Amino acid sequence: MHENYDLELLMELVRQKKFRQLKEALGQMNEVDIAEFLDELDVEQEILVFRLLPKDLAAEVFTYLENTEDQEKLIGALSDKELREVLDELFLDDTVDIIEDMPANVVSRILRNTDTSTRSQINQLLNYPKDSAGSIMTTEFVYLHPDATVEQSFARIRRVGLDKETVYTCYVTQNRVLLGVVTVKTMLLSAYETRIGDIMETNVLSVTTHEDKEDVAQMFSKYGLTALPVVDGEDRLVGIITVDDAMDVIEEETTEDFEKMAAILPSDKPYLRTGVFETWKSRIPWLMLLMLSATFTGIIITSFESALNACVILTSFIPMLSGTGGNSGSQSSVAVIRALSLDEVEFSDVLAVLWKEIRVAVLCGVCLGGANFIKMMVVDRWLMHNPEVTPLVALVVCLTLMLTVVCAKIVGCTLPMAAEKVGIDPAVMAAPFITTIVDALSLLIYFAIATHVLGI
């Protein structure tokens, strides 16, 4: 909540039905804070408070409601006139975002309460692929003619700018073809009689309607943009993407990557609003797959049962070797996945990445192996008086540790890059998946070294 407003005070105003005071308080609040306040109310209270809001503020608040179920209930409670007023105040891309998550009966009611032109634009935007630039763009932008003067252009901005998502950046078009871009600042600093074509910037960065929306969002960060034009195959301007839409995409993709890295199927609902059954469904497939794949480690241990019986002390170091290997692989995979998402590396850099990770792995492995050898000799053998921890056993464990770290980092850096190459999300190749592979590798290395060094 905004620091000037107390949630409990607002709730008390609702309970006491002091709607005049509540309306005054809401009118001075930020729309994001109001949406958070509405989320705390039950459905009847939420609808009642929503009706107190001026129509322009109500539209803004509506887009910030986190739960689509709340939006759906509000739409159901509003009269056609009230719904039409809210929709008239919404930007087109926000309307499309709402429609995408709504059931068919609600969608038909929304479309029924929009004018023919808006309905046509909504249908056009809904036809773009879900992950494309076209799906997140808005068609509400200011375009100017290259032959118009600054004075004429300002008149046009005053006439049409009220309903546009941004007026600071204006696009110069002729026959709908994008020619350049001009900012209001440039126009303010130019004489009224100056032609727009003489002051526009012709080196315009643009994207096509079918470009991946995650790549588009990264461009905002890379080039410091506030808006980005979207063109079709013939360079005709069809829409723009604004920085707030790009931030939504980045947040959505980051959340999705974290869920995949934790072996959870992605969900677009907030954590506390996701049901237990739905959460179970998102987690159990990966857990089942990882559990079954982890049985390979059991098969490996069983196949070397005679070696373990001959030197029982080896068993106690298996968790440490597996854990260290998994951690090493996870470090590399997370670093590479982040680099891939930021376009810092691509598959052609695989050898450079591999060479770097191998050198890092050798340094880490030597340090860990050396520290572990000292620990085994001082703590396990001397302080804990365990005669089974001989220098040869310590050598086996430490050599395994070093080789495991190297293998883990190789697996951790190459699997995400290979996944990217074949079209799989690199985030899938993160901690749980890599840990399972490294567990099996560490055991194979462990028993191979133990068999040769200890002769068991």
Q: Dig out the tokens for 446 from the structure.
A: 């462990």
Question: Does position 1 have pLDDT exceeding 50, yes or no?
Answer: no
C-beta atoms surrounding 215 within 10 Å: 13
Q: What is the share, in percent, of the chain residues with pLDDT greater than 70?
A: 88
pLDDT at 357 over 90: yes
More confident residue, 237 or 129: 237
Region 310-322: mean pLDDT is 84
Q: Are 88 and 58 in contact (CB under 8 A)?
A: no
Residue 242 one-letter amino acid: T
Q: Are 416 and 260 in contact (CB under 8 A)?
A: no
pLDDT tier at 428, thresholds 50, 70, 90: low
pLDDT of res. 5: 57
Reported as a pLDDT band with limits 50, 70 and 90, residue 430 is: low
- What is the predicted pLDDT for the residue at 181? 94
Confidence category of residue 290, pLDDT binned at 50, 70, 90: low
Q: Check pLDDT > 90 for residue 402.
A: yes
Over residues 205-221, the pLDDT tens digits come to 999 988 888 888 888 88
DSSP label at residue 161: G
Is residue 184 within 8 Å of 167, Cβ to Cβ?
A: yes
Average pLDDT, stretch 66-84? 78
What are the structure tokens assigned to 320, written together? 């440490």
pLDDT tier for residue 366 given thresholds of 50, 70 and 90: very high
Distance between CA atoms of residues 149 and 133, nearest Å? 32
What is the model's pLDDT at position 48?
85
Segment 142-171 shows an average pLDDT of 88
Whether 262 shows a pLDDT value over 60: the answer reads no
Question: Rounded mean pLDDT of 231-252?
Answer: 84
The answer on pLDDT for 373 being more than 50 is yes
Provide CB contacts within 8 A for 230, sequence distance 6+.
Answer: 133, 134, 137, 206, 207, 208, 209, 237, 238, 239, 240, 241
Span 120-144, mean pLDDT? 80
Helical axes 213-223 vs 243-261, angle rounded to 10°:
120
pLDDT band of residue 104 (cuts 50, 70, 90) is low
**How many angstroms separate the CA atoms of 161 and 262, rounded?**
45
pLDDT at residue 296 above 80?
Answer: no
Q: Strands across the sheet with 237-242, in order?
A: 207-208, 227-231, 237-242
**How confident is the model over 97-122, as a mean pLDDT?**
73
List for the chain the helix, strand, coil content (%; round to 5): 70, 10, 25
- Give the residue-averaged pLDDT of 1-26: 77
On the question of pLDDT at 254 being above 80, the answer is no
Band of pLDDT at residue 248, cut at 50, 70 and 90: confident
- Where b means 16+ CB within 10 Å and e means fewer, 100-131 reads eebeeebbeebeebbeeebeebbebbeebeee
- Mean pLDDT throughout 176-188? 92
pTM above 0.85, yes or no: no
How far apart are alpha carbons 130 and 136 in whole angstroms? 9
pLDDT tier, 179 (very low <50, low <70, confident <90, very high otherwise):
very high
Among 93-107, 130-144, 334-348, the range scoring the smallest mean pLDDT is 93-107
Mean pLDDT score of the chain, rounded to an integer?
Answer: 82
Q: Which of 201, 254, 248 is nearest to 63 (CA)?
A: 248
Which pLDDT score, from 0 to 100, does residue 359 have? 94
438 and 323 Cβ atoms separated by less than 8 Å: no
* pLDDT class of 259 with cuts at 50, 70, 90: low
In this structure, what DSSP letter does residue 314 have? G
Looking at the predicted structure, is the pLDDT value of residue 3 above 60? no
Residue 2 confidence class, pLDDT cut points 50, 70, 90: very low
- Please report the domains of the chain, with CATH numbers, ordered by start residue: 7-127 (1.25.60.10), 143-242 (3.10.580.10), 271-454 (1.10.357.20)
Q: Is the pLDDT of residue 350 over 50?
A: yes
Residues 75-79: contacts with CB within 8 Å, 24+ apart? 75/102, 75/106, 75/109, 75/110, 76/106, 77/47
